[in-house]
Amino acid sequence: MALMPKRVKHRKSQRGRIKGNATRGNTVVFGDYGIQSLDAGWVKATTIEAGRIAAQQYVRGEGKLYIRIFPDKSVTSTPLETRMGKGKGEPDFWAAVVKPGTILYELSGVTEQQAKVCFARLASKLPVKVRFVTRRSA
Partner 1 sequence: MTDVIQATKRDSTGTAATIRLRRAGNVPAVLYGHGEANEHLSISADQIRGLLRHHSKTIKLTGDVNETALVSDMQWDALGIEVLHLDLIRVNLKEKVEVTVTIETHGEAPGTREGGIFLENIREVDVRCSAGAIPDSLVLDINELHLDEHATAADLQLPEGVELITDPESVIAHIEAPRAEVAAEEEGVADGAEPEVISKGGGEGEEDEEA
Residues 115-131: b if buried by 16+ CB within 10 A, e if exposed: beebbeebbebbebebe
Which lies closer to partner 1 via its Cβ, residue 64 or residue 116? 64
Interatomic CA distance for residues 6 and 20, integer angstroms: 29
51 makes contact with partner 1 (CB under 8 A): no
Name residues whose C-beta falls within 8 Å of residue 117's C-beta, 6 or more positions apart in sequence.
58
22 makes contact with partner 1 (CB under 8 A): yes
49 makes contact with partner 1 (CB under 8 A): yes
Task: List residues near partner 1 by CB under 8 A.
Answer: 1-11, 20-23, 26-27, 32, 36, 38, 49, 52, 56, 61-64, 91, 100-101, 108-109, 131, 133, 135-138
